[in-house]
Structure 1
Amino acid sequence: MSAIPTSTSVSESAVIRAPLSHVWHLIKIQDFSKFWTALSSSEFVKGASEETDVVKWTFKDGSVIEVKQEEHSSINHYITYSVITSQPALTYTSVVSTVRCYAVTSGDLEGSTFVEYTGNFSSDADAGVIQDAKFKRREALADLAKAATKQ
């Protein structure tokens, strides 16, 4: 039986009714547990390289991943991270994710923030992985909106 062909990327987005400064303030890989309810903790990994930020995310379901910050821009308001370890092991080789924020500057939602959360997976990720990533990103965006609008 052969695998079902699937896209190996996912992109979810939301308009959050809070200013960019409120939303961007929450987007730090070490602080994801402050807004994402799926996480029980997020903390820097001690002993990781001085040049690299590595953070351990512990999920409420017991799974643990370590993510490495690949890029960060406080000018263009985005972070990119990759998963470097996982318990239990991932069923695919790699994933690189980006959270990018844009100020909404005109129209009915002026003063809000457009947030895009993408993931690019290795070609061995199956349709179930992509679907799971889609729903996790939607959940994280909804949680981010709740946290940002409380401020």
Structure 2
Amino acid sequence: MDPSTRIPTATSVVESIVVEAPLAHVWHLVKLEDFSKFWSKLNKSEFVKGTSPDTDIIKWSFKDGTVLEVKQEEHSTINHYITYSVITAEPNLSYSSSLSTIRLFPITSGQHENHTFVQWSGFFSSDADAGVIEDGKYKRREALADLAAAAVKSAS
């Protein structure tokens, strides 16, 4: 695309949901290698063979034929978040890089007490266009809805 015709856009997206299940039920599902257990767009999620014990690389095979390898960059069982980056993609992505974080927070009072607030953010390289950001937004919304359904099912 001609740089003079590019529409300026934010290079990040943040989506969230309140899951009607306790944090322990939701957190148990948020493992990169287990995303296919709840995310309806995935056929398979699995550890990549031959990776070092210090590096978690997971292959996500989507139903549309897209295959991503994601690397877990951070994981905190104390603060309930994971951060991952996309390291390879087939077909190739139209942007250079992305970094995503999923954070869980227990809701401790009010009408949603004993539920979980889940936030999924994505930060993209500056060469990502508006279509990439919109796609990230809707994929996160769909995945969060799938996560909520799976967590509610596991809590009952």
Give TM-score, length-normalised by structure 1.
0.99
Q: Distance in 1 between matches of 2:88 and 2:22?
A: 34
Q: Distance in 1 between matches of 2:103 and 2:53?
A: 25
After the TM superposition, which parts of structure 1 deviate over 3 Å for at least 4 consecutive aligned residues?
A: none
Map 1:66-77 onto structure 2 (within 5 A). Answer: 66-77=69-80
Identity %: 66
Q: Which runs of 5+ in 1 are unaligned?
A: none
Tell me, yes or no, if structure 1 residue 43 matches structure 2 residue 46.
yes
Equivalent residue for 1:88?
Answer: 91
Report the alpha carbon displacement of residue 50 of structure 1 after superposing the two structures with TM: 2.2
Map 1:1-151 onto structure 2 (within 5 A). Answer: 1=2, 2-151=5-154
Residues 39-79 of structure 1, C-alpha deviations (whole Å, 9 max, x = no match): 00000000112210000000000110000000000000000
- Alignment coverage as a number of residue pairs: 151
Root mean square deviation of aligned Cα: 0.6
Q: Which runs of 5+ in 2 are unaligned?
A: none
Residues 26-47 of structure 1, C-alpha deviations (whole Å, 9 max, x = no match): 0000000000000000000001
Give TM-score, length-normalised by structure 2.
0.96
